[in-house]
Structures are given as structure tokens and as C-alpha cells.
A = this chain, B = another copy of it.
Amino acid sequence: MKLGVSPDTFPPRSHEAKRISVVGAAASVFCREGFAGANIDLIAAEAGVSRQTVYNHHGDKEKLFVAVVRDLTERCNAGIFATIATFPDQPGNLEADLIGFAMRMNRNCICNRDGRFLRKLIQTEGERYPELFAEWREQGPGRTWSALAARFARLAYAGHLAIKDPDVAARQFLALINAELQISFMLGGMPDDEEVLQSATNGVRTFLSAFGRQKSASHAARKSALVGA
């Protein structure tokens, strides 16, 4: 809004910057403590702002919570679609390209701060805010899955995969590349790059064993060695 007024460095600091700071701190506190356990004083302190400013900007604990969820939803969806845009439509090495895509998906959408926060908030408070939840549901997983399914369908049409139901394949792809990260998620922790790579690699290999065409050279070799056929 008030961008670039001052000479240099940090032009927009006061009004909008504080708002952002508050929403960010609120996300963190709501996640750690839950809605009921979250303390406005703590949020204000963590944002480096007085309590009154929190009320001036958002009016209400509940309104603040809604603002947090909307903010996270928006950024997460943006990240997801930016990542889906990097899907390997014309793969050189299908396995390597899909592993790279899986890594980006995990890193940028599922394991990052926004993704973990949003997931936790939906899990903990989703039942209390059905409208907010419905909104996320439409914009989030629904579109993600169909967008991803479309990409897989294209890949199958081009002869790189043998897929009967692209929607099922898309969901299973996501499930597989996250299969080994479930415990880390339960802990609320952030899996390290090693784990993410391992999970993505194992997931993509199994996915290709199930849906790959024998054509793919390296894959066919690995598969025949594995299955012994």
C-alpha cells in the first residue's frame, strides 16, 4: 500500500507490516496452543506489538483466527499451483523427473511452514469452523488433485504411463511420496532433506512399478531385475 515512500531499505514498515507480523505470530501461536489456548498477549508480544494494536487491526480473537487461516490457505494454494506448473510434461528421464517433482511438492507445499501450520489448524479447529473449512476444501485438495490428475492423464496419453483412473493415480502418487513422512508429521516436526528424498524416491519407484510402461529403459531393467519376469 504505502510502498517506497522512504529513501531506502524498509519502506513499508508501519501499518501493513505490523498487520503481517501479527498474522504471522498468530499463526504460530494458534498452531502451538490451539484456538482456546492461544493468548492474545502472547501473540502481541511475539509480533512485537502492543495488545491494543492486535485489537485495532483484527477486532477479535475469532476474526484474527479467520484472517490467519485465509492467509495460510491463500499462500499454500499459490505454492501448490506454482509447483504443479513444474510437472514434467515432456520427461527426459521419467523416474528422475518425477522424483524431482515429488521433492518440490513435499518441500514447497507439504513440509514448509505454511503447509504444516495450515494442516494443523484444519485438523485441530476445522470442525469448529465449517464454512472456513469448506472454503479450503474446495480451493485446496480438490483442485490440487484434479490438476495433478490432468497432468498424469496427459503423461499417460503420451505413452509414458499406463493409468486407468488418473484421479486415483494422482491421490496414490501423493500418498506414496509421503508414505515415509507420516511419523514426522504426527510429531509436528520438519523432516530433513534426507528423509524427504528417501520418501520421494521410494514412492516414485513404486508408483512407476505400478503405472510405468515397460518401454522406459532404465525402469524396465530395474523392474525385470526386481520381479524376475
Contacts and interface: CB of A to CB of B under 8 A. Distances in A.
Interface of A: 32-37, 119-120, 122-124, 126-127, 133, 137, 141, 162, 164-165, 168, 171-172, 174-176, 178-180, 182-183, 186-188, 202-203, 206-207, 209-211, 213-214, 226-229
B168 A202 contact: yes
A119 B186 CA distance: 8
Contact of A126 (B182, B187, B202): B187
A18 to B, nearest CB: 27
Please provide the 4 A-B residue pairs with the shortest distance between their CB atoms, ordered closest to farther.
A36-B37, A175-B179, A209-B210, A210-B210
A142 to B, nearest CB: 8
A176 B126 CA distance: 24
Total copies of this chain within the assembly? 2
Contacts of A171: 179-180, 182
18 contacts: A123-B123, A123-B188, A126-B187, A127-B187, A127-B188, A141-B182, A141-B183, A141-B186, A164-B226, A168-B179, A168-B206, A172-B176, A172-B179, A172-B206, A175-B176, A175-B178, A206-B210, A206-B211
Given A123-B188, A206-B211, 5 more contacts: A120-B124, A126-B188, A172-B176, A174-B179, A175-B178
A229 B214 contact: yes
A110 to B, nearest CB: 12
A186 B124 CA distance: 9
A106 to B, nearest CB: 13
Nearest to A32: B127
Nearest to A228: B162
